Amino acid sequence: MAGPDPDHRPWAATRRGIAEQLGQIDGVLPGSVVVRHMRCGKPSCACRADPPALHGPYIQWTRTVHGKTVTQYLSQEQLARHQPWFDNARRLKELVAKLEILSVKALESENRRASTTQATKATGRRQSRRPGS
């Protein structure tokens, strides 16, 4: 049973919804995957025929490790098994970006409320001082 929301800041429910989606991510793979079909150097090879029977697929997984580009080859089975983790990398970025926007909005709305309160107090002080001046 879900009780009343203890967090009264704006977009609390939306933020919690995003957090739940983030909690479902159980793997993230960085970098990008390119699937290539290639021709070799042999002039008599089937890859030179018309229509060509190209070699491959060669599945290249490229990522940056300590500032260096690293490329590894994956089997089709590996790609199929890990595709959700590659998809998760993009999903993670999107969810974090959304959560960031909503969190900033929540903080800014607090600031607006605070500055309104301060302005009221300041006005109050000025008004209370006025009769004496």
In the complex, which residues of this chain contact Zn ion (CB under 5 A)?
40, 45, 47
Closest CB 50 distance from Zn ion, rounded Å: 13
Nearer to Zn ion (CB atom), residue 44 or residue 128? 44
> Residue 132 corresponds to which tokens in the numbers above?
């004496």
Nearer to Zn ion (CB atom), residue 29 or residue 47? 47
Closest CB 51 distance from Zn ion, rounded Å: 13
Other CB atoms within 10 A of residue 39 CB: 14
Closest CB 60 distance from Zn ion, rounded Å: 18
Closest CB 59 distance from Zn ion, rounded Å: 18
- Close Cβ partners of 25 (under 8 Å, ≥ 6 residues apart): 88, 91, 92
Which amino acid is it at 1?
M
Nearer to Zn ion (CB atom), residue 12 or residue 47? 47
Nearer to Zn ion (CB atom), residue 36 or residue 121? 36
| Cα distance between residue 40 and residue 83, in whole Å | 28
DSSP string, 49-76: SSS---EEEEEEEEEEETTEEEEEEE-H
